[in-house]
Structure 1
Amino acid sequence: MGDNTTLIDSLLHRLSTAFKIRDLGKSAFFLGIETVTTPDGMILTQRRYMRDILQRAGMSECKSLATPAAVTQPVSQSTDPFHNPTHYRRLTGALQYLTITRPDLSYAVNRLCQFMHTPTEDHWGLLKRVLRYIKGTLDYGLRVSPSVSSDIHAYSDSEWAGCPVDRKSTSGYAVFLGTNLVSWVSRKQRTVARSSTDVEYKGLADVCAEVTWIVSLLRELRLCSSTPPALWCDNLGATYLCANPVFHARTKHVEVDYHFVRDKVSSGEFQVHFVSTKDQLADIFTKPLPAARFGTLRSKLNVVCHQPCA
């Protein structure tokens, strides 16, 4: 990658003298991901892949839904096993690949993956709801556009004891390079947290590690910004914990490796700021949301609709 056409052509020429290569030109369709050019950039979409998943599930003509997860339908501990667990695992695995261009599916797919070993009829119902949401958003994809800024800012959020089965918390983050979403995750934490501050601080530790890697990659590409990355969290206790060593007296039970966030902040490499829950973009990765709230956050993550190609 680069912005010097002469150097790129020279490199391709030198490679062609040693290897048999073919220049395919601009990317259009690669590993199931289609590139749709727009006036302000491009959209990465997996329309064909989504249609294939619906066909494999026998739901090509199903009715669509506005969200992939219901707010009022928690995961139950049903003992009625699903009659075809292999089919469940295959579809859930396929949905994991779909999250490459659809961050709005991350929470719902992560929840489905937690029951791969023994799926029940209830879990199959959750999977079908995700597929019905996909049916109504076939023309959605991840927008990538030129950005005047190369600053990194990340949103971290956690839902304390959100799982009704084991009371473990779900964390999520979204990392932006300028205006473009470049990394995101939704994951259940491995241990039960004692407070909301604990779980939010663990979420900050996860996004801190991710941003550290992204900064390292950008430095290799000579695209690093002089401005320290900004991490946004909606828990005041966690933000204080990052900056105030005295506050650690209240959190001696927190694992030591979490505290590297404070070291990053004290050295000036990162800045941690408070953001209101209303403006917390990572909220979409931690819990089911009402349709209006879900749609707002989806658009802010640059998951947008495009006109299908003729």
Structure 2
Amino acid sequence: MRLSNFAPYFSGAMLIIIGVYGMVKSYREWKNHDEPVRRLALTLMISFGLFGLVGGIAVFLTILLNPELWVLEAIVITAGYLLLANESLSILEKLRKPEGRHERKKVECSLPVAGIVRSREEAITLLKAIDIYANLPLLIVGREHPEEWERRTGMEPDEYIWLTRVEHEKAISPSGLHVLSGKIINFLKGNPGAIVYIEGIEYMLFYSDFKAVAKFLFSIRDVAMMEDAHVLILANEDTLTQEQMAILKKEFEEIDVEKVLEKLMGPALFGAFSTGKRRGLNARPKSPEERSGTGEKEAEEAETLRREEKAKKRG
């Protein structure tokens, strides 16, 4: 038998081998990535199945059964090509950053590149104000389940990383500082001017020594500086030693939350906000009817002050 007679068999076998190999590799990538890479990996897996596995089988059927089955082979290979091309173009379009999305506003918020917040309550207050008045991209690294975070804070960040050893699509293990670092750096590079807020430093210290955790934080700080972004960490002497806090304070500035809020919101609106906070601390408990009426009134007053402040800035 001439060598040319083996060519169809060889091409069919190679298609099947390439198809199986590609499907296995695509499946591994599908398991290890989030959207939209996960979706692209699934498309590749299906395309390798059509191109290689089914296409190779179609070659053997054409040789052994009926030469006219080449039509089936052509249909399968064309379908795989069209699926891969269409999905790749679609995902590339979605990955393209829309014009104006998360465009950084010129606001004077006095927020340092790297800052320490001493309490979670202050951190949430600050993040909410920045979300409303500056609208900057936000990445949260927290110890709570993503849905619990949104429920408790009323905030929906652009990206949330759940610091846990539990298997979850948004989870990263506290022992995987290199994985966490890569995820944060990619976010910073893709969203110049963004804010990264990190909780759970004490949890990381269960799995890594302080030197490793500090190096991780300092590397994030350096990238934030290059990307004109901000990194905020929750840290205090209740969870860290004085020596550890002293090391962090050399690279991270302790934030005066009220000062930042005043710069961000403007004196008039911040004055109303600050007064409202003091009243909330000292006032007697109110009935549901009183709370409802007061809340509407305060909301109207805040909106009025906000419009006045914007008018002053434009003037």
TM-score of the aligned structures, taking structure 2 as reference length: 0.25
Higher strand share: 1
Higher relative CO (Cα under 8 Å, sequence separation at least 6) belongs to: 1
